[in-house]
């Protein structure tokens, strides 16, 4: 003990270093925690940005599909098809020009059934893992089975 | 070598054993203090400094906002899956006022005025207006339309892609502050084809007339309110609103096109005012085609809007309100086609037979009113078949007044649905007008005139529905235009609704035979080689303010076939033809031309081939 006291008297800068270290330690701890928080938040934000981007892309694609669908419908409208047929030399046939052939076991084409409109989706609350929404206490209770 | 290494180690030991400078530690602490102080000052500046309101505004914008999400409106198809009504994106042009610069204001105005043919000054004035003073930070650009009203500027996908390219290209004109906000819009790729059947949707997304009006609640779906997060940390899965149903119509677009072409040619050739053709399957009531002239293009619906939705200027310009789909909403006196119902009633009641004789003297008095034939002639001895073949008013007035009597006659007309709506799934249907003895304006002469379709008002759909009972073995079915209703949870096929059986099967067969013979006689303009068809012409005078107009008629024809197993029922109506007033001359040839193509489209073989097939089986 005396030897330590003597060493301390001979080298007081060690106390200063210790004081500095002691006061810097909480700051460093805070910085580390802050860094971890920022890292997690940055990843969260990146994921959120991806979600927003994907939602925008989805909306754009749906609008684009709708536009294409309408354009296709317009280009294949009966008036246009009829004009193209006339241009290719076709004309309406008359009953006397039609030949009828009997086909046994002929299966007529199935009637058209329209595509179903999209059903509404859930809010997504029930689809998330509890790990994203519960607190530490709630996790503890869940783990303990209470 | 060993000496120099030992010397180096000694020097390091000496440095390590030296006292650290107090100044260095103080400098380090001061540096840390400065950094922390700078952070605190910056936080105070952000919170309370001159830019604090801007940051607060941004926070307000990107914070969660309650938003109403509209679902996609259902798509309408024809029976073969061709799109009749769909949704296309349009874009509103909105401006974030605080992001505008002097350069971008001018360039936005310049680009929009050139690309969209808008007045530069109008656009520029909207961009330079002091919106912030009024508390508006985001505005929607508008343009002036007729009547002094302003309407939001909308651009289609092509123009939107160009503007988006400008926004993303640093070399392009500076459009800072401009953004494109998508807005759903209705498109009708087939143009005016079946326009009266489809109806239209206005800019606010409300359906009017036709299928769009009748099924508006089903097509529009249900909007929901969500909390929309705009910052990445608030991003989450968004619920979709329940979408509107998709509809498949009974309309066959090929038949519709064919019928509209023929009707248009007829209107032009006869210089008529208007016309209608309805093609229906009498067995199930499916409307295969409903052509109306003048046509309605749902893509240009403004002239057809109800008066309260149009601007004052537009309302003043219109002499009379246009009738959407006169086939269900327009009443007319049917004339001689109505004789089919009178004769059906008399046959079904057992009061006449096809061979029963009648002496036609050229006139008959009913309720003090003298009724004459269409040509003023006396036709002498006629059978009931002859009366139908020659369309004799006197004979039919005799049947209704002397044979049936008022109670039985009007009872049968009610059973045929005259004076009542058919319940067709199109918006705007009216019930027509049938005065019975209970009506205060009814006179006994009505009993005579109603027999041949004057003094009674029907809609085209009422008439074809009633005649459909004769084509369908006495069973009258409800007409409809929707074949399938497709929702998120499944498909619904509306069942055929039987409205009643006004006459027996035997009566229907008897009358069909009469009309088959009559068609091949008087109305050979309606005859189609190889097919047995039944039908009746009609030429009706048009009532006016001072009685019937002697100049104009409604020429019509109703017929069905093939008689062996009717698959189509066609009603043709041409209003005020100028070339000839007669149904046999104007409307009957239209029927023939339509049926000649219809039998091919519906793959109906001629009677001889059909009989040969049956013999083989």
Q: Which of the pair, B316 or A55, is modelled with greater confidence?
A: A55
Instruction: Report how far apart the first and last C-alpha atoms of chain B are (Å, whole number).
Output: 120
Judged by CB atoms closer than 8 Å, whether chains meet at B82 and A115 is answered as: no
Position B16 pLDDT exceeds 60: no
Under a CB-based contact definition with an 8 Å cutoff, are residues B392 and B367 in contact? no
CB neighbour list of residue B425: distance below 8 Å, 6 or more residues apart: B211, B214, B215, B480, B481, B482, B494
Residue of A nearest to B610 (CA): A100
How far is C-alpha B103 from the chain's CA centre?
46
Give the mean pLDDT of B577-597: 94
Determine the average pLDDT of the residues in A58-70.
86
The minimal CB distance from B239 to the residues A59, A117, A121 is found for A121
- Residue range B595-602: average pLDDT? 94
Asked if B20's CB is within 8 angstroms of A16's CB, the reply is: yes
What integer is the mean pLDDT of B603-611?
Answer: 89
What pLDDT digit, counting tens, does each position of B329-345 carry?
A: 999 999 999 999 999 99
Tell me the pLDDT tens digit for each residue of B510-550: 999 999 998 887 657 888 989 999 999 999 989 888 888 88
Size of interface A-B (CB pairs under 8 A): 168
pLDDT for res B145: 77
Confidence (pLDDT) at A7: 65
pLDDT at B367 over 60: yes
Task: Tell whether B192 is within 8 A of chain A (Cβ).
Answer: no
> Which positions in chain B touch A48 (Cβ < 8 Å)?
231-235
For tokens 């006339």, name the residue.
A86
Q: Give dist(CA B539, CA B550) in Å, integer.
A: 12
What are the chain A neighbours of B241 within 8 Å (beta carbons)? Answer: 120
Residue B85: what pLDDT? 94
β-pair type (B76-77, B246-249): parallel
Cα–Cα distance for residue pair A24/A27, rounded to 1 Å: 5
Phi and psi at residue B455, to the nearest 5°: 80, 5
Say yes or no for a CB contact (<8 Å) between B232 and A77: no
Query: Is A100's CB within 8 Å of B609's CB?
Result: yes
Query: Tens digits of per-residue pLDDT, B143-166?
Result: 887 677 788 888 888 888 888 888
Cross-chain residue pair A46–B253, CB shorter than 8 Å: no
Check residue B262 and give its pLDDT: 96
Q: Give buried/exposed letters for B561-583 (b at 16+ CB in 10 A, else e).
A: bbbeebbbbbbbbbbbbeeebbb
The whole-number pLDDT of residue B314 equals 47
Query: In the prediction, which pLDDT does B342 show?
Result: 97
A77: number of CA atoms within 13 Å, CB side? 17
Question: From B490, which residue of chain A is nearest by alpha-carbon distance?
Answer: A116
The reported pLDDT for the residue numbered B375 is 86
Note which residues in 44-83 of chain B have CB less than 8 A from chain A: 72, 74-75, 77, 79-83
ipTM of predicted complex = 0.70
Residue-level pLDDT at B313: 44
Chain A within 8 Å of B251 (Cβ-Cβ)? Answer: no
Closest in B193, B238, B248 to A112, CB measured: B248
Would you say B418 and B366 are in contact if contact means Cβ atoms under 8 Å apart? no
What is the residue-averaged pLDDT of chain B? 87
Best of A24, A59, A120 to substitute, by most chain B Cβ atoms within 10 angstroms, is A120
pTM of the model: 0.81
Q: In the 8-state DSSP scheme, what is residue B80?
A: T
Q: Is pLDDT above 50 for B312?
A: no
**Residues 136-175, chain B, touching A (beta carbon < 8 A):** 157
Contact A117 B488 (CB under 8 A): yes
Taken in order B61, B62, B68, B70, the sign of the CA dihedral is positive
Upper half-sphere CA count for residue B67 (Cβ side, 13 Å): 16
Q: What is the C-alpha to C-alpha distance for residues B2 and B8, in angstroms, rounded to an integer?
A: 10
pLDDT at B56 over 60: yes
Q: 3-state DSSP call for residue B406?
A: helix
- Taking CB atoms and an 8 Å limit, are A121 and B240 in contact across chains? yes
Task: Please tell me the distance in Å from B86's CA to the nearest CA on chain A.
Answer: 7
């Amino acid at each position: 003990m005396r030897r330590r006291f003597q060493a301390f008297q001979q080298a007081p800068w060690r106390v200063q270093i210790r004081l500095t270290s002691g006061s810097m330690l909480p700051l460093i701890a805070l910085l580390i925690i802050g860094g971890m928080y920022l890292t997690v938040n940055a990843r969260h934000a990146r994921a959120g940005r991806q979600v927003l981007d994907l939602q925008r892309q989805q909306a754009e694609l749906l609008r684009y599909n709708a536009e294409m669908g309408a354009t296709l419908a317009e280009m294949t409208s009966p008036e246009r098809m009829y004009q193209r047929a006339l241009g290719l030399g076709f004309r309406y046939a008359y009953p006397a020009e039609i030949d009828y052939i009997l086909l046994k076991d002929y299966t007529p084409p199935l009637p058209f059934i329209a595509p179903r409109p999209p059903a509404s989706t859930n809010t997504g609350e029930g689809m998330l893992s509890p790990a994203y929404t519960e607190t530490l206490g709630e996790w503890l209770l869940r783990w303990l089975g209470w | 070598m060993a000496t120099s290494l030992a010397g180096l180690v000694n020097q390091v030991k000496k440095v390590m054993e030296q006292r650290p400078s107090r100044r260095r530690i103080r400098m380090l602490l001061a540096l840390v203090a400065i950094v922390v102080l700078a952070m605190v000052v910056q936080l105070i500046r952000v919170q309370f400094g001159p830019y604090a309101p801007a940051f607060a505004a941004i926070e307000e914008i990107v914070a969660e906002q309650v938003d109403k999400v509209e679902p996609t409106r259902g798509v309408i198809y024809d029976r073969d899956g061709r799109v009749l009504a769909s949704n296309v994106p349009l874009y509103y042009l909105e401006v974030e006022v605080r992001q505008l610069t002097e350069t971008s204001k001018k360039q936005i105005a310049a680009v929009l005025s050139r690309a969209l043919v808008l007045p530069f000054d109008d656009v520029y004035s909207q961009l330079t207006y002091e919106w912030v003073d009024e508390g508006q930070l985001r505005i929607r650009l508008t343009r002036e339309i007729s009547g002094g009203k302003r309407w939001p500027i909308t651009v289609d996908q092509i123009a939107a892609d160009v503007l988006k390219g400008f926004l993303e290209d640093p070399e392009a004109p500076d459009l800072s502050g401009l953004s494109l906000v998508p807005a759903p819009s209705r498109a009708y790729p087939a143009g005016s084809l079946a326009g009266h059947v489809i109806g239209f949707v206005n800019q606010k997304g409300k359906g009017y007339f036709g299928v769009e009006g009748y099924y508006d609640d089903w097509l529009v779906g249900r909007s929901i309110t969500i909390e929309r997060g705009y910052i990445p940390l608030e991003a989450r899965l968004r619920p979709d609103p329940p979408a509107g149903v998709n509809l498949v119509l009974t309309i066959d677009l090929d038949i519709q096109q064919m019928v509209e072409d023929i009707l248009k040619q007829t209107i032009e050739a006869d210089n008529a005012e208007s016309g209608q053709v309805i093609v229906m399957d009498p067995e199930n009531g499916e409307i295969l085609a409903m052509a109306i002239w003048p046509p309605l293009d749902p893509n240009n619906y403004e002239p057809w809007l109800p008066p309260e939705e149009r601007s004052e200027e537009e309302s003043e310009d219109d002499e009379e309100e246009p009738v959407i789909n006169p086939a269900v909403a327009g009443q007319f006196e049917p004339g001689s086609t109505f004789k089919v119902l009178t004769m059906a009633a008399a046959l079904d009641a057992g009061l006449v037979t096809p061979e029963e004789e009648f002496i036609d003297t050229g006139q008959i008095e009913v309720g003090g009113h003298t009724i004459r034939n269409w040509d003023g002639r006396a036709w002498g001895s006629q059978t009931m078949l002859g009366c139908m073949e020659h369309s004799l008013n006197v004979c039919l007035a005799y049947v209704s007044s002397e044979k049936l009597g008022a109670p039985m006659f009007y009872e049968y007309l009610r059973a045929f649905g005259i004076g009542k709506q058919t319940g067709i799934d199109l918006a705007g249907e009216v019930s027509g007008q049938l005065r019975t003895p209970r009506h205060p304006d009814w006179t006994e002469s009505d009993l005579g005139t109603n027999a041949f379709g004057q003094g009674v008002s029907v809609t085209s759909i009422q008439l074809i529905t009633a005649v459909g009972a004769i084509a369908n073995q006495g069973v009258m079915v409800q007409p409809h235009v929707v074949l399938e209703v497709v929702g998120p949870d499944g498909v619904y096929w509306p069942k055929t609704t039987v409205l009643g059986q006004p006459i027996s099967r035997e009566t229907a067969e008897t009358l069909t035979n009469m009309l088959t013979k009559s068609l091949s006689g008087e109305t050979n303009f309606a005859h189609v080689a190889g097919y047995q068809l039944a039908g009746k012409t009609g030429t009706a005078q048009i009532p006016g303010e001072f009685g019937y107009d002697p100049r104009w008629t409604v020429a019509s024809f109703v017929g069905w076939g093939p008689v062996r197993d009717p698959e189509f029922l066609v009603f043709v109506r041409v209003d005020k033809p100028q070339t000839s007033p007669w149904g046999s001359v104007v409307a009957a040839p239209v029927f023939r031309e339509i049926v000649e193509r219809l039998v091919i489209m519906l793959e109906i073989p001629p009677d001889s081939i059909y009989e040969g097939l049956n013999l083989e089986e």
